[in-house]
Structure 1
């Protein structure tokens, strides 16, 4: 997967991803169809879920942003749509990230680098804090019981399949 995409990206160095690859391989109609399929099913739902998840995590630090703080409700028969502070946070995050990416691939790339460095720095801080403040014991590091796989071909074959994951 990833190696194929890297080869395709090197062959077609333009913005568009799968749209460009399928357009070049099969024609514009397939590029068009994959673009709309990705927009409807592949990108919109996961991005919406990620922003709602971000708002839910943020509500642990700021309880007023929790999902129970609803300030507008619309009823469509048995269906109710609620708008609260968590949804507003999710919308603001979505709009801000969209605006950064709409301004161009260079600006979007800069934002990606900034967010990646921020996440890596947060992980590094947690690691240092764990070593600095941790009260561990070397007794936790010991050889475990024998492996669960039997000796022989099955074990060796299973180990070689780890790269498939």
Structure 2
């Protein structure tokens, strides 16, 4: 019997999506974990009142916190879209971050295109096989199928 054609996401696409979600989750967790670890280290180092140390711990962590690479990339991308970016004023690190992100996006787009072509080619092979099977059907089998359809129509009319 012919196989059913499905239009599901390929396993690689699903895996990439899961991997991306996990990376986002753990990056958030890692940021939160480092903030709390810094606060704990600060609290352990101080011999003063615990309430004073606890109140001052979050402020330095928030003020000393560096801008994340994603934020920098988003800022530069926004400037690129608006057309008012001065490449000379950006640091090499920022430019490399943008280049790496753009290369990753290009690679991902290429992979999506390749997966789509592969999926469609696989479906085309399936359809070709089904059509070949139908073309090779015996005439007597086709005649029996027609008779069955005619009988079914007669029964439905009654």
**TM-score (norm: length of structure 1):** 0.26
> How does the TM-score come out when normalised to structure 2?
0.27
Structure with greater strand share of residues: 1
